[in-house]
Structure 1
Amino acid sequence: MISLIHTGDIHIGMEFKKASFGSEFARDRRNEIKETFYRIIDRAVDMNADFLLISGDLFEDEYATIGEIKEINKYFRKLNDTRIVIIAGNHDPIINNKSYYKIIDWAENVYILDTTLQKISFEDVNVDIYGLSWNKKLIKDNLFENIQIDDKNRINILLAHGDIYQKSSYLPIDRESIANKGFDYIALGHIHKHEFICKNIAYPGSPEPLDFGETGTHGIIEGSISKDELDIKFLPFSKREFVSIDVSVDDNMTVENIIENIKEIVREYDFKNLYRFNLNGIRDKDILFDTQYIKYRVEEYVIYAEILDNTTPDYDLDKLKQENENNVIGKYIEYMEEQNTEDEISKLALYEGIEALLSEKVN
C-alpha cells in the first residue's frame, strides 16, 4: 500500500490582472497561493507520503519568476522520503528548453514527465505512473485514447491534465474509455473545482480559489492505494474562499438597511473569506445605492467585499404608460399588466424590461 497527496492547478506566480480586487490584494493572494502550497508540502512530510502528485499548472509560465520556482525546489528537498511526480499543464507547458522545468536543477526526488506519453517505474513500492506534459497552449486531441498498461499486477496511476467533461481544446479525455483502461487511480488536473468522477478518477481542484468563479471549498486529495483497496478523500485546505451571496432589496429599504442586512448575513461566515454581495430586487427610483460606501462599511466585518447593484428602479407605471402610449414601452407595460404582475418575480421582470427599453431609448 502507498500513501499519496494529489494536487494541481496551483498557479504559482498568478498575476490576477483581470481580478476585480485591486493590486494590493492581488499581491497578497499571489503570496497566499505559495503559502498554501508550502503547507501541502508540510502535510506530505507529516504523513510521510510516498507520493506527491502534481497534475499540471504548478506555476504560470508567463509570470512566475525563476526565484519563486527555485524556492519551491528547495521546499521539495524537505520531502526526503516522498517522490514528487509532476506533469506540465496548459499554463506551464514545456514548449522549449527555456522552460523552468528544463533549466532548474530539480531535487533528486522530483520526476517531471516528458511531453510524450511516458511511464516511470518505482520498483521499491511496485508502482508505475503514466502521463505526459503539455508542450503547447492548446491540445485538441485525446492523447490517451490508445494508452495501455504494461503490468496489471503493479499499482498503476495515470497523471493527466485535461477536460473529461467535454470535447474541448484542452486535451479532451473520454470518460468511459479512460475508466476502462485498468488504472488503479487517475489523477486529473485542469478543472479548478474538486470532483470525484468515479471512485478512482478525481480532480482535486485548485488548492486556492482564484476568483469569484471558483466559489466553494478548495483543497487537496489524499489517501492510500493498494491493488485491493483505494482509500482517498478530499481535504479542504485553502486559506480563503470566494463567497457570492444574494441580498434581497425592496423599495422601502435604505442604504443603512442594506448594510444591517449584510451585517447579519456575515455573522454566519468566516471573516477571512472574500465576499461578493449581489443586491437584487426593486429599489426606490429616486435612491441610488453608493456601492463604494456600502463596501467600506461592510469591510468592518469581512476582510474583502464587493457590492454589485443589480436592483431595478420602482417605476410609476401609469405615468410611464401615459408618456409612452404610442411606442413599444407603453405597449410592453400594457402587455405585462395583462399577464398579471402581482408576484415579486413577475414584477421584477416587468421593471427590468422597462429599464432595458428606457436604456435603448436614451442611447
Structure 2
Amino acid sequence: MTSCLRFLQCAGFRFDSPFWDGPESWTKFRNQDLWQTFQAVLELCQSEKIEFLLLTGDLFEQEYVRKETVERVAISLAKLEGTRVFITPGRRDPLIISSAYRLTVWPSNVHIFSSGVTSVRIPSHNVTVYGAGWTAYHQERPFLDSFQPVNDGTLQLMLLHALVDSNRNTEGFIPIRHEQVSSSGLDYLALGSLEVWSGVQQAGKTNWADCGSLEARSFQDTGPHGVLLGEIQKDSSRFEFRELGQRCYIEKNFTIQSQSSIEGIAEKIIAETSLEERQKNLYRIKLSGNLLDVEELVQPLQNLLMTQFRFVTVLPLEERTQSQLEFSGLSRQKSMEGFPTLAKIFINKLQSRLVNADKSESSDYWEIVQKIGLTALGQGRTVDED
C-alpha cells in the first residue's frame, strides 16, 4: 500500500480539431506539435514513475475526430507501464451515442467516466478516484450536488471537466461553487475546462487546479501551457506545473509613420525577437496608421518577414481577425474553409431540398427532419446518455 500517490494531470488536446488561430497553412504544423506534446506526456509518465494519469476533458474534437486517431491514442496509452489512466469526457468530446470513445476498445489500464459521479477504489494505492463525464453538449445539473465521499481512510481524488465560481462566459457550464469544493472532503480535485493554467487553489482542506490545455490555439491564449505533476498523501501535497507547449502565439502592434520604410519596420520587429523565438513561435504583426500606407505595406512586409520568421502573418490593425471570429464562442457553429461541420452539411442539404420541394411537401415536415437530424449529430443534445 503506497503512502504517496504520484499523478500527472492534463487536458484539452482536442485531437483532429481544425481550429488553430492563424493562416490555414499553420494547421499541419500545429497538429504535428500536438502529437509531439502527447508523446512528451507519455515519456514524462515513464521517467517520473507516474502512477495515475488524469485526463480531464476535451481529449478529442468530437465533430472532426477520426477512428484512426482514437485508436492511435488508445494504443499509446496501453504502452504505459505501471500507469493507470483516468479520463473524463468533456464538452468537446462528450460520451454521446456517436462518441469518439466508442470507436475503439480501450486497454485495461484506462478507465473512462460516464454520467453522474462514480468511483473506482484501488486498494493497492489506498485511493478512491471519483469522476463524472459529460454525456451531452450542455451540462444539465451541477456535478457536486449531494456528493458525499466515502470516509474509508483512502486518498480521495476527483476528475471533472468543470469551472469553479467563474465570472467568465459559462454558457453550457454550471460552475461548481467554492463552498461545494470546501465541503467535498476531497484531497484533490482535478479540473480541465480552461485554456490556461489556473495555479493550485485551495478550498477548505481540498486542493484543486485546472491545468489548462496542452497547446495554445489562439493569440488570446497567452498563459503557460503544460501539465501538472503532483504528489499527494493524507498530511501533505506537492505540485509542480511543467510547461510542455511547443510554441507560443505572440501578437505585436506597430504604428506606421508616413516616412516609414518596409526595411525599417522589419528591422524594428526583428530587433525585438531572438533567432530562436523567430523559428519557434507564431507571430501576428498588426499595423496601424494611415489606412492607405498600411494597406500598401502589408503584403511587402509579409514577404520580407517570411524570410526571417518561420510563422508570421501581417494584418491591418483594424481588420477583424480570424481569432476574433473563431474564438468568440461561436466556433462550434462556424465552418472553416475545407472543414465544414456535419451539421452544416446537413442543413445545406435540407435548404436545397426545401428550394426544390413541391407544394405537397410541407415546411413543418422538414422542420421535424431537421430536429431529428441535428439531434442524431449531437448538436445541442441535452439528454444524458450512459
TM-score (norm 1): 0.79
Aligned to 1:147: 147
The 10-residue stretch of structure 1 (235-244 or 133-142) with the greater mean CA deviation from structure 2: 133-142
Q: Distance in 1 between matches of 2:121 and 2:10?
A: 20
| Identical amino acids, percent of aligned pairs | 24
The 10-residue stretch of structure 1 (55-64 or 238-247) with the greater mean CA deviation from structure 2: 238-247
Q: Distance in 2 between matches of 1:88 and 1:264?
A: 45
Q: CA deviation at 1:267?
A: 2.4
Deviations 1:60-103 (A, max 9, x none): 1111211111111111122120000000001111111x323234
Aligned to 2:192: 189
Give matches, 1:227-242, under 5 Å: 227-242=234-249
The 10-residue stretch of structure 1 (263-272 or 114-123) with the greater mean CA deviation from structure 2: 263-272
Whether contact under 8 Å (2:252, 2:286) holds in the other structure is yes
Aligned to 2:51: 50
The yes-or-no answer on 1:100 pairing with 2:100 is: yes
- Amino acid paired to 1:273: N
Q: CA deviation at 1:204?
A: 0.7
Give matches, 1:128-277, under 5 Å: 128-151=128-151, 153-164=153-164, 165-166=166-167, 168-196=171-199, 198-199=201-202, 200-267=207-274, 270=277, 271-277=279-285
Q: Distance in 2 between matches of 1:92 and 1:134?
A: 8
Deviations 1:300-345 (A, max 9, x none): 2221112232279xxxxxxxxxxxxxxxxxxxxxxxxxxxxxxxxx
Q: Distance in 1 between matches of 2:293 and 2:100?
A: 57
Deviations 1:120-169 (A, max 9, x none): 11111111111111011111532212211112621111111022214542
The yes-or-no answer on 1:279 pairing with 2:287 is: yes
Q: Distance in 2 between matches of 1:94 and 1:33?
A: 22
Secondary structure of residue in 2 paired with 1:173: coil
Would you say how many aligned residue pairs link Structure 1 and Structure 2? 308
Q: Against the structure 1 CA distance between its residues 114 and 140, is the aligned structure 2 distance closer, same or farther, given a 3 Å change threshold?
A: closer
Q: CA deviation at 1:211?
A: 1.8
Query: Over aligned residue pairs, what C-alpha RMSD do you find?
Result: 2.1
What runs of 5+ residues in structure 1 fail to find an aligned partner? 313-363
Instruction: Point out the structure with max Rg over C-alpha.
Output: 1
Whether contact under 8 Å (1:52, 1:83) holds in the other structure is yes
- Amino acid paired to 1:119: S
TM-score (norm 2): 0.75
Aligned to 2:109: 109
Q: Against the structure 1 CA distance between its residues 276 and 88, is the aligned structure 2 distance closer, same or farther, given a 3 Å change threshold?
A: same
Q: CA deviation at 1:268?
A: 7.5
Q: Against the structure 1 CA distance between its residues 228 and 104, is the aligned structure 2 distance closer, same or farther, given a 3 Å change threshold?
A: same
Whether contact under 8 Å (1:84, 1:111) holds in the other structure is yes
Aligned to 1:68: 69
Secondary structure of residue in 1 paired with 2:18: coil
Aligned to 1:77: 78
Q: CA deviation at 1:176?
A: 3.0
Q: CA deviation at 1:283?
A: 4.0
Q: CA deviation at 1:273?
A: 0.6
Q: Distance in 1 between matches of 2:6 and 2:160?
A: 19
| Structure having greater relative contact order (Cα 8 Å, sep ≥ 6) | 2
Q: Distance in 1 between matches of 2:286 and 2:44?
A: 37
What runs of 5+ residues in structure 2 fail to find an aligned partner? 320-386
Q: CA deviation at 1:219?
A: 0.7
- Amino acid paired to 2:243: P
Q: CA deviation at 1:292?
A: 2.4
- Amino acid paired to 1:221: L
